[in-house]
Amino acid sequence: MNFDFSDDQRMLRDQARKFLTDQSPPRVVRNVLEDSAKAYDDTLWGDMAALGWMGTAVPEEYGGAGLCPEDLCVLAEELGRSLAPTPFSSSVYLATEAILVAGSEAQKQKYLPDLAMGETIGCFALAEGVGVPTPRTISVTASNSALNGVKEPVADGDVATFAVVLARTGDADERGMSLFIVDLSDVEREPVETIDPTRSHARITFNGAQGELLGAEGEGWDLAQKIIDRAAVYFAFEQVGGAQASLDMAVDYAKNRFAFGRPIGSYQAIKHKLADMYIATELARSNAYYGAWAITTGAPDVAVAAAAARVAASEAFNHSARENIQTHGGMGFTWEFDCHMYYRRAKLLSLALGGERRWKDRLISQLEARNAA
Amino acid sequence: MDFNDTLAEAEFRAEARDWLASQAPKREPGQSYEVRRGDDALVPHAKDWQAKKFEAGFAGINLPKEYGGRGATRIEQIIFGQEEATFVTPPSIFGISHGMVVPTLLAFATEEQKQKFVPATLKGDEVWCQLFSEPGGGSDLAGLRTRSARDGDEWTINGQKIWTSGAHYADRGVLVTRSDASVEKHKGLTYFFLDMKSPGIDIRPIKQISGASNFNEVFFVDVRIPDNQRLGKEGEGWRVALTTLMNERVETGVRPAPDFEDIFALARNLLIESGPAIADAAIREQLADWYIQTQGVKLTRLRTMTALSRGQQPGPENSIAKVVTSSKRQRIAHFGMDLMDMGGIMRDRDAIPMQALFQDAMLDAPGNRIAAGTDEILRNVIGERVLGLPREVRVDKDKPFSDLAALEK
């Protein structure tokens, strides 16, 4: 047994942290936040591509580095820590993974090399407005691979080259769902305003756009769940990174801010708050580590591991981001301080793959299934 | 990262599991040993079980062979704990003896004393108690007042300890005393071990909320201790005490009950107005929170053990497990009773699911949040020693201990 990353992986983490400290400081994130014309930082994206990050877990025969999901988790934590304003999560954790999980040999040959190089950006179109997407509610249809309907919000849908889309091809049940790859170049799409403008989102309207099946017809629901489970672990690492950064900011402020003649961090009201942020973050980190191992090895309880990682990480990042603002007092509520960038991202990430309530329900369902087996 | 056993670990696990299966029944969710922790009738059961483990080579798994251990790794110690938790075995009464006293003896006792006491302790022949807390010093341990005065080759002890777990069945104790009140409070302490049958010791059980008596008051009137039972130098007792305490929260194998699996089993079996409790959305959300905490603590401990197996010392991050687990146990106990609704107030072991495990725990759990570091002290530890936050202002700092009483006026 060994419950930590390897020496090589820790070296990768150190390099990634140094790179992102230099190339994705708060100023870079803020530029995207404040410039409504800017969907992401393309210089940063290009530099990340030059390092080969998008191809981390893509096999070498498809132009990737051939490393494992654990290595990608190492990068995800650092990207979350630095709030890197790029389409990495959509393109790598979702679109690339979707093709790795469900793609035919020809589709892998066609899409993976460009994705791995960062030459194309993929996105994953599942949500259809407010509410939980289920086989009963999915209204985007595909008839003879022609798609019709609206998907929103789609992370990076405004900048992506193609989308992986869940659409109805049959009855309104799990067997009636299929996944499609759809080229977005001629598809109507517009940016939608969200709580976190450092990550761009779109409304995509399909009017008969031609898609190509990804996986077999009628298997889209199960495949989407499998893709989302894997993505949940990567997202969990981003969330753990964000939670840690929020905690670090709060600790730093509490050491240096004086009130009543003492640093506020010496008061137990603040000290215990920060201890609770640390506890939540560490529990989330441990659950995320287990998730990383589970998706890397294909462990049988991968669905349990992914849901546990997801729930713990969503709670930890939201909690730490909220209490970081509280620790900063009034300054934490200003546009000028960086606290709100973490607060926004925390909520965004915790809804991106489905909210906490739903993932808690899924965790218990998976535990029931495991127990019945 | 590898959560699977290595070949050697898998062999050890199989060996442990086979041996356990030959000695004890498999445990079902919610099931526990018929004699509970805190019940004095447990002592002979626990000693017998410890002796069996010792004979089979499963005591002191990570301790050196020359002192009766197995000479294996901490990971193997954990593996044994994981396997033992799946069988119905007596709760351990050796947490203090093995987890705290043995490491202190190995660090500070003479070779002769180690040979004499460590194997006997691992075998369960010697049970130890920890005479630290006092009426005037619990969380503020260094505020203790029990006096030790040197008299030739012996010391004379006078004073009172409190919250001493198992003092009434312990054979020996480790004791921190004040040998010099004229210096700052941490500097005037001296540490000993002693025979609990020594003349002048009076042990009085404290009855707890649950009705059980795990703890005692221990009074010392002119108790004599030979100087060769001093551990560490005169005036350096604080350093020795820290060694004892540093190991306090590393101990493994104790299963907090009820835990996630117990409330999960209860919710699956119990009917509420809408059907099985497990189908209720609010209950599912609550269960999910406890699962990630339980799993998070378990995995965090494994991360710590990985660090330890690389030769690092147990650090303050172990405080996480204690803070999270003791509060969770209390909440699970209350929640389980709430699911039982009006009948939940009954503590009749025959009438209530899982032999009234939840009811017993409800009455016992408040103590978990206080003993071995209160929730508040552990959050201070995390804040100050992990996060590096400034300490509280200490009004007693740099003052001789003998001047401190004036601060309480």
Which chain B residue has the Cα nearest residue A249? B387
Homologous superfamily (CATH) for B7-93: Acyl-CoA dehydrogenase/oxidase, N-terminal domain (1.10.540.10)
Considering the candidates B248, B251, B384, B392, report the single residue annotated as catalytic.
B248
CB contact set of B255 (below 8 Å; sequence gap of 6+): B85
CB proximity B320 to A under 8 Å: yes
Measured CA distances, B37 to A204, B167, B213 (Å): 62, 14, 10
The 10s digit of each residue's pLDDT in A166-184 is 999 999 999 999 999 999 9
Cβ distance of B1 and A367 shorter than 8 Å: no
CB proximity A109 to B under 8 Å: no
Cβ distance of A3 and B299 shorter than 8 Å: yes
pLDDT at B397: 84
Cβ distance of B1 and A289 shorter than 8 Å: yes
pLDDT at B211: 86
Confidence of residue A332 (pLDDT cuts 50, 70, 90): very high
Please list every residue in chain B whose beta carbon sits closer than 8 Å to the beta carbon of residue A367. 264, 291
User: Can you tell me the mean pLDDT for A78-93?
Assistant: 98
The rounded distance, in Å, linking the Cα atoms of B107 and B129 is: 18
Confidence of residue B317 (pLDDT cuts 50, 70, 90): low
Helix A302-328, helix A356-372: angle, nearest 10: 150
Instruction: Evaluate if residue B249 carries a pLDDT over 60.
Output: no
What ipTM was predicted for this assembly? 0.94
Instruction: Evaluate if residue A150 carries a pLDDT over 70.
Output: yes
Q: Is B75 exposed, middle or buried (0-12, 13-18, 19+ CB in 10 A)?
A: buried
Cis peptide before B258 (omega within 30 of 0): yes
Taking CA A138 as the corner, what is the angle to CA A133 and CA A140, rounded to the nearest 5 degrees?
135
Cβ distance of B285 and A360 shorter than 8 Å: yes
Measured CA distances, A127 to A135, A152, A157, A166, A186 (Å): 12, 6, 12, 9, 21
Dihedral over Cα of A179, A353, A80, A332: its sign: positive
Homologous superfamily (CATH) for A222-372: Butyryl-CoA Dehydrogenase, subunit A, domain 3 (1.20.140.10)
Please list every residue in chain B whose beta carbon sits closer than 8 Å to the beta carbon of residue A274. 383, 387, 389
Strand B271-272 to B275-276 pairing: antiparallel
Residue A248: count of CB within 10 angstroms of its CB: 16
Confidence of residue A343 (pLDDT cuts 50, 70, 90): very high
CATH class of B260-386: mainly alpha
Cβ distance of B320 and A266 shorter than 8 Å: no
Q: Among residues of chain B, what percentage have pLDDT more than 90?
A: 71
Cβ distance of B388 and A262 shorter than 8 Å: no
Q: Chain B, 31-90: which have a CB under 8 Å from a chain A CB?
A: 75
Q: Chain A, 56-75: which have a CB under 8 Å from a chain B CB?
A: 70
The 10s digit of each residue's pLDDT in B98-143 is 989 999 999 999 999 999 999 999 999 999 999 999 998 788 899 9
User: Can you tell me the mean pLDDT for B398-402?
Assistant: 90
The rounded distance, in Å, linking the Cα atoms of A279 and B322 is: 11
Instruction: Evaluate if residue B57 carries a pLDDT over 80.
Output: yes
- Which of the 8 DSSP states describes residue B137? B
Which chain A residue has the Cα nearest residue B287? A364
CB proximity B112 to A under 8 Å: no
The 10s digit of each residue's pLDDT in A194-253 is 999 999 999 999 999 999 999 999 999 999 999 999 999 999 999 999 999 999 999 999
pLDDT at B34: 76
Cβ distance of A279 and B324 shorter than 8 Å: yes
B151: helix, coil or strand?
strand
Cβ distance of B306 and A2 shorter than 8 Å: yes
CA atoms within a 13 Å half-sphere pointing along the CA-CB vector of A322? 11
CB proximity A363 to B under 8 Å: yes
CB proximity A271 to B under 8 Å: yes
Please list every residue in chain A whose beta carbon sits closer than 8 Å to the beta carbon of residue B293. 283
Please list every residue in chain A whose beta carbon sits closer than 8 Å to the beta carbon of residue B279. none
Q: Is B261 a catalytic residue?
A: no
Nearest to B292 among A267, A278, A287 (CB): A287
CB proximity B264 to A under 8 Å: yes
3-state secondary structure A151-208: EEEEECCCCCCEEEEEEECCCCCHHHEEEEEEECCCCEEEECCCCCCCCCEEEEEEEE
* Residue to substitute from A8, A77, A271, A274, interface B, most B β-carbons within 10 A: A271
The rounded distance, in Å, linking the Cα atoms of A144 and A138 is: 17
CB proximity B382 to A under 8 Å: yes
The 10s digit of each residue's pLDDT in B380-396 is 999 999 999 999 888 88
Please list every residue in chain A whose beta carbon sits closer than 8 Å to the beta carbon of residue B390. 255, 262-263, 265-266
Q: Among residues of chain A, what percentage have pLDDT more than 90?
A: 98
Structural contact between residues A292 and A69, judged by C-beta atoms closer than 8 angstroms: yes
The 10s digit of each residue's pLDDT in B74-88 is 888 889 988 998 999
Rounded to the nearest angstrom, the gap between the alpha carbon of residue A122 and the centroid of all alpha carbons in its chain is: 13
Confidence of residue A86 (pLDDT cuts 50, 70, 90): very high
Please list every residue in chain B whose beta carbon sits closer than 8 Å to the beta carbon of residue A265. 383, 389-390
The rounded distance, in Å, linking the Cα atoms of B74 and A205 is: 58
The 10s digit of each residue's pLDDT in B193-225 is 999 999 999 999 999 998 888 889 999 999 999
CB proximity B296 to A under 8 Å: yes
CB contact set of A170 (below 8 Å; sequence gap of 6+): A176, A177, A217, A218
pLDDT at B386: 93
Which fold would CATH assign to domain A7-117? Butyryl-Coa Dehydrogenase, subunit A; domain 1 (1.10.540)
Instruction: Evaluate if residue B316 carries a pLDDT over 80.
Output: no
pLDDT at B252: 44
Among A339, A306, A337, A338, CA closest to A321:
A339
Please list every residue in chain B whose beta carbon sits closer than 8 Å to the beta carbon of residue A317. none
Which chain B residue has the Cα nearest residue A70? B1
pTM given for the model? 0.93
CB proximity B12 to A under 8 Å: no
CB proximity A251 to B under 8 Å: yes
pLDDT at B253: 43
Nearest to B293 among A1, A262, A283 (CB): A283
Distance from CA of A349 to the nearest CA of B (A): 18
Please list every residue in chain B whose beta carbon sits closer than 8 Å to the beta carbon of residue A7. none
Residue ranges, comma separated, of all CATH 1.10.540.10 domains in chain A are 7-117
In B19-59, the DSSP E strands lie at none
Q: Among residues of chain A, what percentage have pLDDT more than 70?
A: 100
Cβ distance of B390 and A262 shorter than 8 Å: yes
CB proximity B204 to A under 8 Å: no
Q: What is the mean pLDDT of chain B?
A: 91
User: Can you tell me the mean pLDDT for B167-189?
Assistant: 96
The rounded distance, in Å, linking the Cα atoms of A174 and A344 is: 33
Instruction: Evaluate if residue B251 carries a pLDDT over 70.
Output: no
Cβ distance of B387 and A287 shorter than 8 Å: no
Nearest to A266 among B5, B285, B389 (CB): B389
Distance from CA of A315 to the nearest CA of B (A): 9
H helices of A219-267, where? Answer: 220-256
Distance from CA of B317 to the nearest CA of A (A): 9
Q: What is the mean pLDDT of chain A?
A: 97
Residue A83 is encoded by which pair of tokens? 């709030």
Instruction: Evaluate if residue B323 carries a pLDDT over 70.
Output: yes
pLDDT at B37: 67
Cβ distance of A293 and B2 shorter than 8 Å: yes
Q: Is B345 exposed, middle or buried (0-12, 13-18, 19+ CB in 10 A)?
A: exposed
Which chain A residue has the Cα nearest residue B296? A283
Among A302, A285, A283, A284, CA closest to A293:
A302
Helix A220-256, helix A69-82: angle, nearest 10: 50
Cβ distance of A1 and B297 shorter than 8 Å: no
| All structural domains of chain B with their residue ranges | 7-93, 128-236, 260-386
Nearest to A4 among B295, B297, B303 (CB): B303
DSSP B267-292: HHH-EETTEEGGG-HHHHHHHHHHHH
CATH class of B128-236: mainly beta
Instruction: Evaluate if residue B341 carries a pLDDT over 70.
Output: yes
Nearest to A4 among B1, B293, B298 (CB): B1
CB proximity A1 to B under 8 Å: yes
CB proximity B181 to A under 8 Å: no
Structural contact between residues B352 and B407, judged by C-beta atoms closer than 8 angstroms: no
Distance from CA of A162 to the nearest CA of B (A): 34
For A122-218, CATH number out of 2.40.110.10, 1.20.20.10, 1.10.1380.10, 3.40.50.2300 equals 2.40.110.10
How many residues does the structure list for chain A?
Answer: 373
